Structure 1
Amino acid sequence: MTQIIQNADTDRGNVVGRIIAFLYGVVAYVVFFVTFLYAIGFVENLLVPKTIDSGSTGPTTVALIVNLVLMSIFAVQHSVMARPQFKRWWTRFVPPSVERTTYVLLASLALALLFWQWRPMPQVVWQISDARIATAMTCLSFVGWLIVLTSTFLINHFELFGLRQVAVNLVGREMPAPRFRTPLFYHFVRHPIYLGFIIAFWAAPTMSVGHLLFSAVTTTYIFVGIWLEERDLIGVFGDEYRRYRERVSMLLPWRKST
């Protein structure tokens, strides 16, 4: 009888733990999605309280150092926590079901810190004076954001941002093994999410020094991230990914992969 009671208590504890993990995942996803929407306004200089070019200005050298530190914090967190070696170590302390959720939450908080502490560098590098061309550039930037969001849904948006993991855990199931798929955009470029970001960051009718710094550093980080990510994908999918890399371009759909 004692053993039965202990087992029942354990089962109840497991159910409570799964519910808490699910609620944690939902909160983390909401934080991510709000941060993503804010990022659009931040880069586009629209609607949000603090944008890439708004706020009080200070010495250029100080702004440069602060902004580089903020972007480095995000880059280090985003890259280190995504590596399989870190995940193996990290899941000794964090349940595997919330590993991705925690990663997404910390990345969102790192971005929020960047938005909050960003130092504007508003000196103009270029400005398109023709209103029609300027509008077209703004529309192109939003196309980039749309490519980013659409691409996440093509490969399983909710798994990418940790919500599927906690939902599967909630019903007491195991996550299925990863499958290699190349839907729609992935037939033409290997990294449409990164391509969308590059378009969104660079298609600016007015390019300030701060915006140029943000675009240049994030684009550099994207290429580093691609190298790290593809190394991990080869580790998971082996020759299947190698063949994919041989036949599909990295970022430019009209250029053959080498």
Structure 2
Amino acid sequence: MTRGFFLLFGLAAYLIFFATFLYLVAFVGNLPWVPLTVDRGGPVGGAGLAAIVDLALVALFGVQHSVMARPAFKRQWTRIVPEPIERSVYVLLASLALIVLFLFWRPIPTVIWSVENPAAVIAIYALFATGWGIVLLSTFLISHFELFGLKQVWGHARNAAASAPVFRKPFFYKLVRHPLYSGFILAFWAIPVMTAGHLLLAASMFVYILIAIRHEERDLVGMFGDHYVQYRDEVGMLAPKLRR
């Protein structure tokens, strides 16, 4: 009974995540088929108050996303949450933090730049799509289903022991240590009409990514030791490292 419940919970958390991810693409890109985007809908108010609220929403997501991913937190958290669904709970709460951001985000419509040339607009949206493609592909390169909790609940349902982490450098990871974050940065900044609200989102997420990388790499050094230290010295963080 417990195994079946955990499996259903993990599947539900994954489906909520995937729906939230698709909405995030539309939210950031101001796509017309969703009601709330970074520049459309949401409460109306002054730019100062909007900036404070929006930064608080990004901070809420960042704190949840980073603190709950730390090994020390996980050791305490799994005393409350069963270990097979720990990752699924994390994924669900991350999705809820994004949903809260969608619902309460306050647009700041002042235009910072606007690209009018049709060919340039198409090229920018191609970069936007490429960024999201890099994000999604990067998750599969590092085990998509483990990253989002399905592997754990499926293994528990089959009574299979969890495998030890293995240090690998597939595809993008031979050139960049964090291609998933690189994809997010590209997707958040590649937009033909940049408003103050969108700039605030892109810049604050960029700052969060830099903070998150620092904590993640500390954990990775603790997990893989000298293998990761050497990898960090040889491979660029968000872009390929220039070599002599």
TM-score under structure 2 length normalisation: 0.97
**1:254 positional shift:** 4.5
SS in 1 for 2:113: strand
Counterpart for residue 80 of structure 1: 67
Where do 4+ consecutive residues of structure 1 move more than 6 Å? Answer: none
Does 2:92 align with 1:66? no
**1:65 positional shift:** 1.1
The whole-number CA distance in structure 1 between the counterparts of 2:39 and 2:199 is 11
Does 2:132 align with 1:123? no
Counterpart for residue 13 of structure 1: none
Does 2:133 align with 1:133? no
Aligned residues: 241
Does 2:35 align with 1:49? yes
The whole-number CA distance in structure 2 between the counterparts of 1:171 and 1:82 is 25
Counterpart for residue 251 of structure 1: 238
Bigger mean CA deviation after superposition, 199-208 or 55-64: 55-64
**1:255 positional shift:** 2.9
Larger Rg: 1
Q: CA offsets per residue over residues 206-255 of structure 1, 9 Å max, x none?
A: 00000000000000000000000000000000001011111111111143
Q: CA offsets per residue over residues 147-174 of structure 1, 9 Å max, x none?
A: 0000000110000001100000001112
Q: Which of structures 1 and 2 has the larger relative contact order (alpha carbons within 8 angstroms, sep 6+)?
A: 2
Does 2:17 align with 1:32? yes
2:235 and 2:241 in contact (8 A); partners too = no
Task: Give the alignment partner of residue 85 of structure 2, picking from 71, 77, 98.
Answer: 98
Gaps of 5+ in 1: 1-15
Q: CA offsets per residue over residues 123-159 of structure 1, 9 Å max, x none?
A: 1000011111011101101100000000000110000
Task: Give the alignment partner of residue 216 of structure 1, picking from 203, 206, 213.
Answer: 203
**Are the structure 2 counterparts of residues 63 and 142 from structure 1 closer, same or farther at C-alpha, using a change threshold of 3 Å?**
same
The whole-number CA distance in structure 2 between the counterparts of 1:242 and 1:150 is 24
SS in 2 for 1:150: helix
Counterpart for residue 5 of structure 1: none
Gaps of 5+ in 2: none
The whole-number CA distance in structure 2 between the counterparts of 1:57 and 1:120 is 7
Counterpart for residue 7 of structure 2: 22
AA of the residue aligned to 2:132: W
SS in 2 for 1:52: coil
Does 2:93 align with 1:109? no
Does 2:138 align with 1:174? no
**1:175 positional shift:** 0.9
Counterpart for residue 175 of structure 2: 188
Bigger mean CA deviation after superposition, 51-60 or 224-233: 51-60
2:67 and 2:73 in contact (8 A); partners too = yes
SS in 1 for 2:112: strand
The whole-number CA distance in structure 1 between the counterparts of 2:93 and 2:239 is 31
**1:57 positional shift:** 2.8
Query: Alignment RMSD, CA only?
Result: 0.9
AA of the residue aligned to 1:129: E
What fraction of aligned residue pairs are identical, expressed as a percent? 54
The whole-number CA distance in structure 1 between the counterparts of 2:241 and 2:117 is 29
